[in-house]
Amino acid sequence: MKYTNAQYGPCIQLVRATRSITLSFNSWKKLRRQVPRMRTVGVKIQLTKDKSIQVDHYGGRNYVCFTKVYTYEQNTYNVRINLAPEEWQSLVDALPFLDEKIPTDSIMSCNACQKKPIILHDGKMQPTLLSEVSLAMVTANNEIAYNQQMYECEYCGGSPYLLESIECHCHRYNCSICEPDNFCSTCGMLTIEPINNSSVLEVSS
């Protein structure tokens, strides 16, 4: 699967060997809305007049099958790409990234989602390792940083864009890279309701 910003706008392309199926902006949004249903055998979605997606059962496993029909020299052909369960899961895991690239108006309700409140530390899942003074210095630096290489991490103080040896990330609750467990494995949506630790302190004081 590849995301590209083509001549006519962003699109998603599925490629397998010599076969490829490209989903336009509108086709992808139509599919994205239906993702919570794509664990059920028999579900079929007509994305366009010549492209569809359905869930089939083979050998004890469910496959998400993409099909494109086209005509060449008066002959009709089918291009089919079947995603195994683990391949479909990889696509679902990439949805938070794709949702930023191709925003979706609405997504069908997901029975697997269980929202849970999480107390955050200034918008992050983990408290900073820095002292109050060090954090203030890092914050001040980031306010005047003119590129990513000048940026310092507010979690550990490192420069992840400058030194590849530093293993560090933002730990923000809505980051799918370092907090993948905060997203539903069925529909890809955020499953937590963030509560800032400062709000908790105000209530308890």
pLDDT score for 178: 79
Cβ burial 21-33 (10 Å sphere, 16+ → b, else e): bbbbbebbbbbbe
Nearest CA to 125 out of 180, 165, 167 is that of 180
Q: Cα torsion at 102, 108, 111, 112 (round to 10°)?
A: -10
CA distance 148 to 160: 9
Burial class (CB in 10 A: 0-12, 13-18, 19+), 52: middle
Residues 49-81: pLDDT tens digits? 999 999 999 999 999 999 999 988 889 999 999
Residues 118-150: pLDDT tens digits? 888 877 888 888 899 998 998 898 888 776 667
Give the mean pLDDT of 155-180: 71
Amino acid occupying residue 148:
Q
Average pLDDT score over the chain: 85
pLDDT score for 21: 94
**CA angle at residue 69 from 66 to 70, to 5 degrees?**
140
Residues 77-118: pLDDT tens digits? 999 999 999 999 999 999 988 998 888 878 999 989 888 898
Burial class (CB in 10 A: 0-12, 13-18, 19+), 5: exposed
- Structural domains of the chain ordered from first start: 2-101 (2.30.31.10), 116-204 (no CATH)
Question: Are the C-beta atoms of residues 177 and 170 closer than 8 Å to each other?
Answer: no
Burial class (CB in 10 A: 0-12, 13-18, 19+), 87: middle
Q: Please determine, for residue 164, whether its predicted confidence score (pLDDT) is greater than 60.
A: no
188 pLDDT band, cuts 50/70/90, is very high
Maximum C-alpha span of the chain? 77
Q: pTM here?
A: 0.74
